[in-house]
A and B are shown apart, each in its own frame.
Chain A
Amino acid sequence: MSARLLVATRKGLFICPPGGDGWSIPAPAFLGEPVSAVLHDPRDGALYAALRLGHFGVKLHRSEDGGASWTEIGVPALPKEKEGDKPLDMIWTLAVGAEPGVLWAGTLPAALFRSADRGASWELVRGLWDVPERASWMGGGYDDPGLHSIVIHPLDPRRMAIAISTGGVWLSGDGGGTWRLGGRGLRAEYMPPAQAFEPGVQDVHLLAACAAAPEVLWAQHHNGIFRSADGGESFVEVTAAAPSRFGFAVAAHPADPATAWFAPAVKDECRVPVEGRLLVTRTQDGGASLESLGEGLPAGGSYDLVYRHALLVDAAGTRLAMGSTTGNLWLGEDGGARWRLLSAHLPPIAALAFA
């Protein structure tokens, strides 16, 4: 059975029911409000939507009826321990935990939170907050560092990997109690040469794991694509990345650890498709080579940028979805071989989910 597509945008959350050739875009929930993250919990079917209200702060809502109605629930609270500590700006990512009722949230400014009651209340993960390296985390895109990737090992949920822009890849082996830096082999062009391989300065834009082979993690990094075969301890750069090495998004094939998709853009100071031609690239050989998949995508004159949570693949590994800051939304069938535009008139798209 096909999944619905959840589209979190700058002006609302669109819940698109599956259609054969004619997907429809219904009226959004939260019309006019920025939706920064969306989550479907397959255990109970609940939907979660994080709002970043321009005036009134971050709010989190849960729906028990597929999006027909929403209830405001709890939000993470950042501690104020010294002058300059800022309040919560955004929930950047949400993840389903292993234990009943457990959810995880990654935030801007960078922190990890755990809820044991389906989001009614949130607890700061102290083990990560208190690492001394946090003092040297830097903003990446936003003024403050942010935590955007939460990867939980499906077979051993005590093992977690998170990524921070900019603060590297962090690993836990005890369910979030203690954390250490992973990410050996990541390379930062924006640092002095002697620090280029410092794990703590790496700006991974997104981490994505292969569900069936969770030791394999793909990283779209600020200046390259990297692959880990050891759960994030170490990475090898995909030097074949083309037409550029810059991008935000990566989608990992759920069953095949050699396959992943990316959405390249020119570079950090020019965040548009290379030569105006929007492409998704795919490797099927572990990064040795990449192919460009552009059928159905704009062949020229495109200024679309795909944010880090706006490229995804479904549980079968065959259907992709991609949304852009220009408000274009596509479905990619047959592993991205053919793309179909669902709408060219949406607000800027922040995140997608199948549900």
Chain B
Amino acid sequence: MVTSMPRVSFTPNLRRHLDCPTVDAPGATVRAALENVFAGNPRLRGYLLDEHGCLRRHVTIFVNDAPAADRVTLADPVGEGDDIFVFQALSGG
């Protein structure tokens, strides 16, 4: 076992605005993993979450092959070896 943390990667379209390389981030939920990413990249938070802490309307998160169900508290569980993909939705463009 090489990696034990969820791996978080981002749509290349975000790189128009800020640097956001793929990172391994500890956490048992999507939110916990993202909070760990934000800790090292604070500006990223406002691109993915609104000021109320919800996932922005036109941002989509997948855990492996399935869209994350909880867009408000981001409580979808993640574990070892999971991939969290942050995409922009096709809406909103």
Contacts and interface: CB of A to CB of B under 8 A. Distances in A.
A87 interface: yes
Chain A: interface secondary structure? Answer: loop
B52 A54 contact: no
Given A54-B93, A55-B89, A80 B52 contact: yes
A56 B59 contact: yes
A260 interface: no
Chain A residues touching B, range = 10 to 19
Of A54, A56, A59, A72, most buried by chain B (CB within 10 Å of CB) is A56
B12 to A, nearest CB: 13
Interface in B18-73: 18, 43, 46-48, 50-52, 54, 56, 58-59
Interface of B: 13-14, 17-18, 43, 46-48, 50-52, 54, 56, 58-59, 88-89, 92-93
Given A55-B58, A57-B50, 19 more contacts: A53-B47, A54-B58, A54-B88, A54-B92, A54-B93, A55-B59, A55-B93, A56-B17, A56-B48, A56-B88, A57-B47, A59-B17, A59-B46, A72-B43, A75-B46, A78-B51, A87-B50, A87-B51, A88-B50
27 contacts: A54-B93, A55-B56, A55-B58, A55-B59, A55-B88, A55-B89, A55-B92, A55-B93, A56-B14, A56-B17, A56-B46, A56-B47, A56-B48, A57-B46, A57-B47, A59-B17, A72-B17, A72-B18, A72-B43, A77-B51, A78-B51, A85-B52, A87-B50, A87-B51, A87-B52, A87-B54, A88-B50
